[in-house]
Amino acid sequence: MRLRFLFESRRFVLTFLACAFAPCASAQLAAEHWLGVAKQLAPAGTPTLDFTPHGTQPGLIYDIQPPEPQCSACHATAGGDPPTSAEFRPFSAWAGSMMANATRDPLFFAALDIANNDFAGVGDYCLRCHTPRGWLMGHVVKSGFGDPPNDQTTGAAACLLNGTYDAPDDINSDMGGVTCHFCHRMMPNGPNGEPGYTDSGNAWVDDLSCANTGGGPPCRRGPYAYTDGTAPPPHEWMYSEYHTESAICGTCHNVTSPDTTAFAVERIFTDGFDGGSPLKTLKLNDGTNTGHPFPIERTFSEWQQSQYGQPPETTCQNCHMPESEDPDATACSYRINNRTGNLPVHAFVGGNTWVPGIILGEYGAGLDSSGTGRSQSLAQTIDWARALLGTAASLDTTIQSYTPPTSSSPGSMAVQVVVTNLTGHKLPTGYAEGRRMWLDVQVRDADGGLVFESGAYDSTNAVLTQDAQARVYETLQGIWNNLGSGACDVEDGGGAPVFHFILNDCIAKDSRIPPLGFTPATATDPNGYDLRPVGAISYPETSAGSGVLVNYDTAPYTLTIPAGTATPLTATARLYYQTASNDYMAFLRNEATDNSFPAENNLCTGGPDRPFIVGPQDRTRGEYAFELWNNAPDDTQQPGYGKSPPELMQTGSATTSR
């Protein structure tokens, strides 16, 4: 297989070199497009590359136990519990989170199909974080039990996973996302002292009998040592400092272009066949290939290089797993230890209020069949996410200058809005899959009439007006020179934005607001390639030469006020966050249509529990995701969910004296 791969790769290089010295047909030139490159280097159905060579591999001695009923039996809300128990019980808090539902997210599956089409088999790398139980149990590409690999096409497309989207997370399902037993078996190092990882799902998982409690299955690791007289749990356990550290979160919340056991696509022209390197390396906007592994997502590193990551640390857990102050807080339905102020709530919320609502509407009834209150947990997650967004930033709106209009002459105004990031990472953080934040600034007259607006949003068509003064906080990743532009191309030939997760190799824009004390440069990355802002908005140093960037954006607005406008005038700034843009949702649908992706049940014919009677079924995953976004809420064929409505984070106003 390796020889076949090298032969086909060398044949491509010879074709490329021939084109360099002679006229080429358009089909040959198209090979420079990364889609063409990828398809020649990774033929469909051929397991040519190992995208997941690090950390614990499939084929465990001890299974990853499912959440229901192994965890929910004790750690969910139960009869006789106080009415607030769903707000602190570990299972009930986790059950509504995107971690718990990472294998139910319809946007993820639509993007997974695109990634596999862009580079055959790379879904193995994606699914490792989205279904660690399914991956470790050998239900993706690697079987892990001494047999040949699973079928690459169906395995990488998640067609070999057990269970259905709406089924409880029991022994028959791999749809439980990032499960309890997976997290509580994670280790900071390998079993033989191998170094740990903080990226791309490269987890080490304990697979030995628990010596701390006299044998049996592996220890369930957590932040309690039970040396204070409190009763230990009735299952295997051990204290783990790792579970109090942000590094455990970095395992899936730092994402780098896959590190393969073969060679990087980009380096076949420079380094030859070097036996192992990242699939994609970062190109600067002048075309310079840095050789630096492409940083797809950097939430953990953003925290690490902020003030929050310096002693005394404010960890990821401090914000995303806050201690419960409920006077009735207990971790277990047996209520053996009161945990008020000493129970991390397994909320794991961020800014996503939209997808939990989809999962609630599409799959909630089936998930509730286990009696664990999953619908309540999903609704709770939406409320928590909305509340967290309200604490993520502050807003200060001031009128810098003002010349009043008269009945015969216009006036003028200068408004300044300062947005300060109060989180421990960039705002917003995560991958550039359509998530964004922006300022809508309006000036209204004494009668409430609109005089000026920047950053207007049309909720009917989900269109954000990108006027000359608009302040949009986002990152745009692209493919360098993909269209022959000599630049980082983030659109296709027709001007539509593209989001090729696995093929991106440049960053056209990163205008997201840095966290407090943010230092992009590190000893191992002195140019700050992983973390630096790119274009659009300049974030100056807190002091010259410090290397530390400010954690706020100062946005200026100027406007002319028409003669005769009724005064006084009021300037109002609103800060919005959106999970998925119209451009992203259209991309998911269009890729499925343009590339003739099969409907999900056809794609997964013969897979476990097929055909599905929920989810896409006879539609492509991209079409299904778009319908969930686009359709009206009361559509009889497929209800929609409001076009990912923007969430209002903060509001600030200022009024003229006359």
What is the residue-wise DSSP string for 338-366? --TTS-B------S--HHHHHHHHHHHHH
**Which residues neighbour 460 within 8 Å (Cβ) at sequence distance 6 or greater?**
none
Q: What 3-state class would DSSP assign to 4?
A: helix
Cβ atoms of residues 351 and 98 within 8 Å: no
d(C-alpha 397, C-alpha 276), whole Å: 52
pLDDT tens digits for range 570-624: 999 999 999 999 999 999 999 999 999 999 999 999 999 999 999 999 999 999 9
| Total residues found in the chain within this entry | 658
Q: Does residue 79 surpass a pLDDT of 50? A: yes
d(C-alpha 74, C-alpha 65), whole Å: 14
pLDDT tens digits for range 148-200: 789 999 999 999 999 999 999 999 999 999 999 999 999 999 999 999 999 99
Share above pLDDT 90 across residues of the chain, in percent, rounded to a whole number: 84
**Which residues neighbour 396 within 8 Å (Cβ) at sequence distance 6 or greater?**
417, 418, 420, 652
Sign of CA dihedral 301, 134, 378, 476: positive
Query: What's the one-letter identity of residue 256?
Result: T
Instruction: Kindly state the tokens that stand for 249.
Output: 């979160």
d(C-alpha 26, C-alpha 588), whole Å: 27
Q: Please state, in angstroms and as integers, the Cα–Cα distance from residue 286 to each residue in 353, 482, 511, following that order.
A: 38, 13, 19
Cβ atoms of residues 78 and 333 within 8 Å: yes
Q: For strand 295-298 and strand 488-489, is the pairing parallel, antiparallel, or unpaired?
A: unpaired
Query: What's the one-letter identity of residue 632?
Result: A
d(C-alpha 106, C-alpha 624), whole Å: 8
Q: Does residue 37 surpass a pLDDT of 90? A: no
**215: confidence class by pLDDT, cuts 50, 70, 90:** confident
Angle at 520 between CA 514 and CA 521, to 5 degrees: 170
Query: What's the one-letter identity of residue 629?
Result: W
What is the residue-wise DSSP string for 100-142? TTTTT-HHHHHHHHHHHHHSTTTHHHHHHHH-HHHHHTT-SS-
Is-above-0.85 flag for pTM? yes
pLDDT score, position 8: 38
For residue 70, the Cα-to-chain-centroid distance in whole angstroms is: 28
Cβ atoms of residues 321 and 347 within 8 Å: yes
Q: Does residue 45 surpass a pLDDT of 50? A: no
pLDDT score, position 262: 55
Instruction: Kindly state the tokens that stand for 446.
Output: 């004494």
Domain ranges of the chain: 72-257+297-389
Cβ atoms of residues 389 and 370 within 8 Å: no
Sign of CA dihedral 35, 38, 43, 46: negative
Query: What's the one-letter identity of residue 91?
Result: F
More confident residue, 289 or 9: 289
Q: Which residue(s) pair with 417 in the sheet?
A: 397, 555
d(C-alpha 271, C-alpha 291), whole Å: 11
pLDDT tens digits for range 496-523: 999 999 999 999 999 999 999 999 999 9
d(C-alpha 342, C-alpha 340), whole Å: 5
Give the side-chain half-sphere CA count within 13 A for 309. Answer: 18
pLDDT score, position 110: 98
DSSP letter at 562 equals: P
Q: What is the mean pLDDT of residues 230-238?
A: 92
The residue with tokens 């310079």 is 288
- What are the backbone dihedrals phi and psi of residue 368, each rounded to the nearest 5 degrees, phi first? -70, -10
What is the residue-wise DSSP string for 205-236? E--S--GGGTSSSPPEEES----SSPPPPSS-
Instruction: Kindly state the tokens that stand for 301.
Output: 């590193």
Q: What is the mean pLDDT of residues 49-73?
A: 93
pLDDT tens digits for range 304-337: 999 999 999 999 999 999 999 999 999 999 888 9
Cβ atoms of residues 330 and 338 within 8 Å: yes
